[in-house]
Chain A
């Protein structure tokens, strides 16, 4: 079974509007971390936001917020006031406590976001 599922291969949003990128995860661990990364066409992976499984508040970082619904195992990324520079591939990832000492991240398949002028 997929550990991280991103069901939206591509999304379009009008500039200055908000957009939600979906992410669901599967784990039996009680302790885990959820991450979102942005990958522009240059290829670099840019860390955006983190949510710990024990965090009671939804994480926020500037225009990025994470809508964390633990019971539903979802960790959707919300981008407010979209900008043209937000056009990129977005990856959801999870790090489980039982993934061993290396603490590997497992990535979803990504969502390609295009911001329209």
Chain B
């Protein structure tokens, strides 16, 4: 069965420090991968998505970046964190086949607090 792992679960980082969040998927090949951010009490904002190794699309301009070095690995990074980067970050995967009805499978999330 497919599983998705995301870590760390919580992170407190000072302003200006770098960031690296990792997400890996098991049990499937060539998934679509996504990074979402959720501000406290708000909905989900799509940050990046990837349809293949090295293919990254950005939805929102910001000081974050994403990379997909392997088929089932998706990394969210920043060189210098801002206070506004605080939030709950969720990684998700989905199949690429059109017609698949079961949406995304999400990781357990990373709660990032920038201080």
A: residues with CB less than 8 A from B are 33, 35, 37, 42-45, 47, 50, 52, 91, 93, 95, 97, 101-105, 107-110
Contact = CB atoms under 8 A, between A and B. Distances in A.
Contacts of B102: 47, 50
B43 A108 contact: yes
Contacts, number: 59
A102 B32 CA distance: 6
Given A91-B44, A110-B43, A102 B57 contact: yes
Contacts of A35: 103
A107 B43 CA distance: 7
B34 interface: yes
Interface in B56-87: 57, 59
Interface of B: 32, 34, 42-44, 46, 49-51, 57, 59, 88, 90, 92, 94, 96, 98, 101-106, 108-109, 111
Contact of B94 (A44, A45, A50, A103): A103
Task: Report whether over half of chain B's contact residues are helix, strand or loop; otherwise say mixed.
Answer: strand
Contact of B104 (A52, A101, A105): A105
20 contacts: A33-B101, A42-B108, A43-B108, A43-B111, A44-B108, A45-B92, A45-B109, A50-B102, A93-B103, A101-B32, A102-B32, A102-B49, A102-B50, A102-B51, A104-B34, A104-B46, A104-B59, A105-B104, A107-B44, A108-B43
